[in-house]
A and B are shown apart, each in its own frame.
Chain A
Amino acid sequence: MNFMGYRRPDGRVGIRNKVLILPTCVCSSETCRIVAEQVEGSIYVSNQAGCSEVEQNLKICYDMYSGFAANPNIYATVLIGLGCEGCTPEEMKKAIEAKTNKPLEVVVIQDEGGTVNAINKAVKAARKFVQEASLVKKEECPISDLYVALECGGSDATSGLAANPVVGKTSDIVVDLGGSAIMSETTEFIGAEHILAKRAATPEIKKQIIGICRDLEEHLANVNQNLRTGQPTPGNKEGGISTIEEKSLGCIYKGGTRPVMEVLEYAQMPTKKGALIMDTPGFDVASVTAMVAGGCQVVIFTTGRGTPTGNSIAPVIKVTGNAKTYEKMIDNIDFNASVVLKGDKTIDECGKDLFDELMEVVNGKVTKAEAFGFNECSMQRICKFI
């Protein structure tokens, strides 16, 4: 199966065609917002960090923001730095160039002599890129070029009974056609990791799946935190999910049934195709952004309670298995999987319908979160600021 996409010079394929205004750190983040507001066709992502960081946090920042620039939905990037930050414009430029050869312009606020001059230079670069991007023609591309992020947030008991199994079917269809689907949220493997591990393509991948769960529990124990204190969330409990085991057993359905080919670190780009796993926290927004940094062009997001989350780089398709939520949150939800609980459709039938919806979005249909312009961005952290 093919889809219509924008072939980039690095070989990857975008389903959207945007210019990214990218901050190295919090001090250039507002400047990026102002630039993006000036240039139709450009977007920005916020950066809450990028300075006074321990090495591990800095590495995450470089991995994540260079990944945003490399995401194939982006035609070109204007990188804006302050000039004295820990996450330097030079190193970020190198990190981006290690991942992609797409057009890149760097603007440093202190070198330009202040905000107004920096905005002036960045707006000119962004306008030029947007015009160039408009000349890129869509072409037929194989589904093997497609990476779908699978996410859940604001779960309730319907998530594990309807929405996640339906997404799992969709994921299997994508993988069987040669595409890739990344499932994340290590927190929400805990209690179900023994089942997920059975899908590992190799003994080494099995060890990695169990290992990331053990490491997360140990990491939290080191700061005197029992993972079970924060999970399930109050909303999960009110929605009928009582323990992390119950939450996880419902969550892992969305990854489908195909062999897991690779376990990726946070915000890393895949080297394999098929069903993949990324080690991210149970915090949904920080998971979505990590998979988008890993190159996912589109996100399928299940929610029982209903959430508005969107991403400026990749469209987010919202799916619910809760009929009341679908009615109440119709502004935010794209796909109704509650028909499965009513018995109107089987999980397989509904999964095929969701695959059709996915391909519509891949080919250009605007999702609800996209129409709102929602653009949450959050990044995993290892340690306090210095």
Chain B
Amino acid sequence: MDKNALMLRPIDNVATVVDDVLKGDNVYVNKEGEKICVSAFEDIPAYHKIALEDLKTGDKVIKYGQVIGAMTADAVKGSWISHKNIMSLPRNYEDEL
């Protein structure tokens, strides 16, 4: 089936699916006016994240145009990205000050 996902910034490498997605669904994302299709690699619950590209362990995950964590496992394009395969990164407050 065709499903939609929200890509919030052009540099994001994940998008948020707005319905429950089943493996093999075509998930459509609007990237700066261009319609991109990603085939779901697995089932993804509504409002969870789908990988828009192949991600390797250690890669930064980008949503809102910002780093939201790093991959703890490899994930191919169309995978479900969740707390099970990404981790939070420490802050560097002294540099920010």
Contact = CB atoms under 8 A, between A and B. Distances in A.
Interface in A109-147: none
B97 A211 contact: yes
A246 interface: yes
B93 A245 contact: no
Main secondary structure of the interface of A (DSSP, over half): helix
B16 to A, nearest CB: 6
A244 interface: yes
Nearest to A156: B47
Contact of A249 (B46, B64, B93): B64
A239 interface: yes
A328 interface: no
Interface in A177-232: 190-195, 197, 207, 210-211, 213-214, 217, 228, 232
A99 interface: no
A107 B71 CA distance: 59
B82 A242 contact: yes
B96 A246 contact: no
A95 to B, nearest CB: 33
A143 to B, nearest CB: 31
A322 B83 contact: no
Interface in B46-96: 46-49, 63-64, 66-69, 81-83, 86-89, 91, 93-94, 96
Interface residues of A, number: 34
Nearest to B8: A161
B64 A242 contact: no
B88 A213 contact: no
A158 interface: yes
B47 A240 contact: yes
A106 interface: no
A240 B63 contact: no
B68 A245 contact: yes
A39 interface: no
B82 A237 contact: yes
A192 B66 contact: yes
Contact of A213 (B18, B66, B67, B93): B93
Contacts of A228: 88
B48 A190 contact: no
A243 B88 contact: yes
A239 B91 contact: no
B6 interface: yes
Contact of A245 (B18, B66, B94, B97): B66
A243 B68 contact: yes
B8 to A, nearest CB: 8
Given A242-B86, A245-B88, A245-B89, A160 B64 contact: yes
10 contacts: A157-B16, A160-B64, A161-B6, A190-B91, A210-B93, A243-B83, A243-B87, A246-B69, A249-B64, A322-B47
Interface of B: 6, 8, 16, 18, 45-49, 63-64, 66-69, 81-83, 86-89, 91, 93-94, 96-97
